[in-house]
């Protein structure tokens, strides 16, 4: 009787979650992925915490709490090194680095606080277990911004290969590159916190 009641509670709780997207019942791989995602999200939604869902199937990044969508960002394009290994819960190791403004000693105490425009537009996110996510803002054809971004990307990959050579690990951690708008990139940098849980919904072939 207890197991039946527990099942009913779980189903009721799952019904309240804003889980996306629904799986096609004729697609066993999609159904299995949706089931995995639902089980992981139910665990997160039972606690008072903010978590992120990177939905590669519908190209959105969702910031959620208690299963309710709080913020949505569109993914313009993405690439992954090995999507088969993205089937677990990740926790962010540290927030993106912020280039803080220099304090002007002659301006007095009333100086503008850090705001969204101070957030980086291109930044790496490192997770535990190992996962490297690189967030890239759309440069909208600006050649100068594109050059700066490419330099950051190349530096990111250089550091990643340096870590592989240093540790001698022949199987590097999975990586995921996400291109979003400038506003969405800076909003994500503003929102994420150390230890924040991340889920990834993988598209089925």
Q: What is the pLDDT of residues 47-78, one digit of tens each?
A: 999 999 999 999 999 999 999 999 999 999 99
What does the pLDDT look like over 94-135, one tens digit per residue?
998 877 666 666 665 666 677 788 888 889 999 999 999 999
| Distances from the Cα of 2 to the Cα of 7, 9, 10, 25, 195, angstroms | 9, 11, 12, 29, 34
pTM for the whole thing?
0.75
- Cβ contact 189:96 at 8 Å: yes
Angle between helices 28-45 and 2-16 (to 10 degrees): 100
Q: How many other C-beta atoms lie within 10 A of the C-beta of residue 169?
A: 11
């Amino acid at each position: 009787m207890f197991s039946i009641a527990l099942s009913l509670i779980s189903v009721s709780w799952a019904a309240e979650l804003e889980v996306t997207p629904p799986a096609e019942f004729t697609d066993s791989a999609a159904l299995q992925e949706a089931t995995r995602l639902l089980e992981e999200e139910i665990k997160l939604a039972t606690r008072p915490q903010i978590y992120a869902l990177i939905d590669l199937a519908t190209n959105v990044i969702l910031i959620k709490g208690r299963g309710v969508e709080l913020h949505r960002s569109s993914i313009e394009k993405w690439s992954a090194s090995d999507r088969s290994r993205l089937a677990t819960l990740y926790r962010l190791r540290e927030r993106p680095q912020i280039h803080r403004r220099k304090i002007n000693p002659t301006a007095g105490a009333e100086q503008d606080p850090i705001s969204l425009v101070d957030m980086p537009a291109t930044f790496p996110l490192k997770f535990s277990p190992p996962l490297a996510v690189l967030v890239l803002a759309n440069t909208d054809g600006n050649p100068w911004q594109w050059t700066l971004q490419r330099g950051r990307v190349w530096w990111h990959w250089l550091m990643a290969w340096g870590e592989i050579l240093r540790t001698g690990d022949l199987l590097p951690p999975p990586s995921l590159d996400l291109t979003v708008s400038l506003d969405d990139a800076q909003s994500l940098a503003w929102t994420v916190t150390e230890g924040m849980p991340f889920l990834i919904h993988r598209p089925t072939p």
